Amino acid sequence: MSSDEDRQKKAREAGEKEVTRLWRVWRTAHEMVQDRGYQLSEEEVGIPLDGFRNMFSDGEGNIIRHKLGFSAKPSDEMMSRYATPATPENPNPASPDVGSIWVDFLPDPSVGIKQMRAFAQHLAQNNFHTGILITAVNITPAALKIIPAVASETRIETFVEQDLLVNITHHELVPKHVLLSKEERTKLLQRYRLKDTQLPRIQVGDPVARYLGLRRGQVVKIIRKSETAGRYASYRLCV
């Protein structure tokens, strides 16, 4: 084999690895959005590698990241989970703090203030409640400061592609996490006569908390397997 043929072969192999890598990231992103309660079809979530390549690659087999973006609306179940129950003191609570989500894949070799502002503007202009920005590289600290600055208008989360190569919730050592609704949270605390601050805690930056998009003050139910009891549940407060 000539040196040119050898280089071409290596380039094809590298290109195929990159396609497979991005397919895995894209699939995990869809699973993450679906697991949060947004509406996505099983066909979209489970698209095979060949279908992914045909949909999103250019004529030379390179994946066009700008085409990978997708949106989803919250399901009725998700809306009820985020709803504030009506009470005699508050018979007409505010609407659930949840809405449509936009997930974008940024190809830029560096991600700074310019890119983050453009992303925030896109979310605001298109009335997205939440945005997830998936980047190939780490975002600069200055750009990350924009996230809390626009929090009153839209929620922004960021992931590096490397974080989504594997769906951590599929690992056998990671127990199932289920977000409690506000009503379930209240009943739990009343049942055990607890204040929420007395619950064990899960950090908002915990990998599973980030996967589920947990917010501070929410309570998550963690279901573990037990050799004696079959399954048992514990609860954690997101802080």
CATH number where 117 lies: 3.40.1340.10
Tokens representing residue 110 in the block: 């560096």
Strand pairing class (101-106; 130-135): parallel
Amino acid identity of 184? E
pLDDT in tens, 139-198: 999 999 999 999 999 999 999 999 999 999 999 999 999 999 999 999 999 999 999 999
Host domain of residue 102: 3-59+66-166
Compute φ and ψ for 106, nearest 5 degrees: -100, 125
Contacts for 168 with CB less than 8 Å, ≥ 6 apart: 174, 207, 208, 211
**Count of structural domains within the chain:** 2
Q: Please give the Cα distance from 54 to 56 (Å, whole number).
A: 6
Q: Do residue 185 and residue 198 come from a single domain? A: yes
Q: Do residue 126 and residue 179 come from a single domain? A: no
pLDDT in tens, 47-67: 999 999 999 999 788 999 999
- pTM for this model (two decimals): 0.93
Instruction: Look at residues 140, 166, 192 and tell me which one is the last residue of a structural domain.
Output: 166
Nearest 10 degrees: CA dihedral of 215, 232, 184, 186? -90
Nearest 10 degrees: CA dihedral of 24, 26, 32, 33? -160
